Copies of this chain bind each other. A is one copy, B any other.
Amino acid sequence: MSKRTYAILGTGALGGFYGARLQKAGLQVHFLLKSDYQQVSQYGLVVESKDGDFSLPQVNAYNDVEKMPRCDVVVVALKTTQNHLLPQILPPVVKDDGVVLVLQNGLGVEEEVAQIVGKISVLGGLCFLCSNKVGPGHIHHLDYGQITLGEFASNYHPTGITDKMRQIADDFQSAGISMDLAEDLLLGRWKKLVWNIPYNGLSVILDATTDELMADVHTRQLVEQLMYEVAAGAKSTGRILPDSFIQTMLDYTVKMKPYRTSMKIDDDEGRPLEVEAIFGNPLRKAQAAGVNLPQISCVYQQLKFLDANKKR
């Protein structure tokens, strides 16, 4: 069993789920909480899951990062809308030879984290997870869970498969979480954006589920156009997404059960939207390479308006 210790920054639907699975597998895990701190420090975590329900009556819960031990692996599981907190909460909790694992949506988050932690290794994970927090310390895992893992290097140079990736993948796999290792983290992030940009954006703007967007000939076409703009953005950073990948994503979504996107759930529950990580950063990356993405830009500006003027 691995001796690596884990810190989970943000014990919600995602951080709570993965952290609980790691602890259940015998790893030492430390959870940072905010609103659920009292509940979780007294009663632990409850996970209802399609893979089997379980509870952890006792967990290492903290409401202050200064009280946490330095850990080998620090998992950033906050929403990106909370990333202004990272300069304050990351440095105290990561060991000098530790790693930071960013389990967030969007693009560019590893760069931000690397600027904060200096020479410490930064890895990024793309989570394919359907999970909700249904109450304090109470997580409902609906589907999926696998993670695509890559390592960050300056300017997102591809790193290939590294030892650090293998070690973390071993820990997660011992906890029953499947991890695909990606030789090129940036390519992986663009691939995920092919899905996230059209469906997250349009689901909020048009108050629609994925099946509704795919059933209408016009939004079906707009989804595809947005996917091709994501591919143009990827290309502006030297990453090629083949047309066949886009067609696969479209077919896959048509066959999915009707799905309410994570951004739509955030919007419905009155939470801030991850507009900058998912839309703003890719736009700026492409812009910096001289590439304009007009339809993604349109959706971005609409989302910024809706995020700032919530009345629904």
- Give every chain B residue within 8 A of A308 (Cβ-Cβ): 216, 218
* New A-B pairs, 10, CB < 8 Å, besides A205-B206, A205-B302: A205-B205, A206-B306, A207-B312, A216-B304, A216-B305, A218-B300, A218-B302, A219-B302, A222-B301, A294-B298
Q: How far is the CA of A308 from the CA of B208 in the complex (A)?
A: 12
Q: How far is the CB of A174 from chain B (nearest CB, A)?
A: 45
* Chain A window 218-229, contacts with chain B (Cβ cutoff 8 Å), 1 for yes, 0 for no: 110110010000
Interface membership of A84, Cβ < 8 A? no
Q: A212–B298 contact, CB under 8 A? A: no
Which residues of chain B are near A205, meaning CB under 8 Å? 205-206, 302
- A211 to B: closest C-beta gap in Å: 12
The dominant DSSP class at the A interface is helix
Task: Give the shortest distance, in Å, between A215 (CB) and chain B (any CB).
Answer: 9
Q: Is the CB of B295 within 8 A of A221?
A: no
User: Is A309 located at the chain interface by the 8 A CB criterion?
Assistant: yes
Enumerate chain A interface residues (CB-CB to B < 8 A): 202, 205-208, 212-213, 216, 218-219, 221-222, 225, 294-295, 297-302, 304-306, 308-309, 311-312
- Is there contact, CB below 8 Å, between B222 and A298? yes
A214 to chain B, nearest CB (A): 11
CB-CB nearest 6 A-B residue pairs: A218-B304, A294-B294, A222-B301, A218-B301, A298-B298, A219-B305
Q: Decide: A222 and B311 in contact? CB cutoff 8 A.
A: no
Residues of chain B contacted by A219 (CB below 8 angstroms): 301-302, 304-305
Q: What is the CB-to-nearest-CB distance from A307 to chain B, in angstroms, rounded to a whole number?
A: 9
When A216-B304, A219-B305, A304-B216 are in contact, do A311 and B206 touch as well, CB less than 8 Å?
no
C-alpha spacing A304/B219, complex, angstroms: 8
CB distance from A306 to the nearest CB of B (A): 6
Distance in angstroms between the alpha carbons of A309 and B208 in the assembled complex: 9
Question: Which of B206, B294, B311 sits near A302, CB closer than 8 Å?
Answer: B206
The chain B residue sitting closest to A294, CB to CB, is B294
CB neighbours (8 Å) of A208 from chain B are 305, 309
Q: In the complex, what's the smallest C-beta–C-beta distance from A223 to chain B, in angstroms? A: 9
Chain B min CB distance to A296 (Å): 9
CB distance from A80 to the nearest CB of B (A): 18
Whether A305 contacts B218 by the Cβ 8 Å rule is yes
Tell me how far the C-beta of A5 lies from the nearest C-beta in chain B, rounded to whole angstroms.
43
Residue of B nearest to A215 (CB): B309
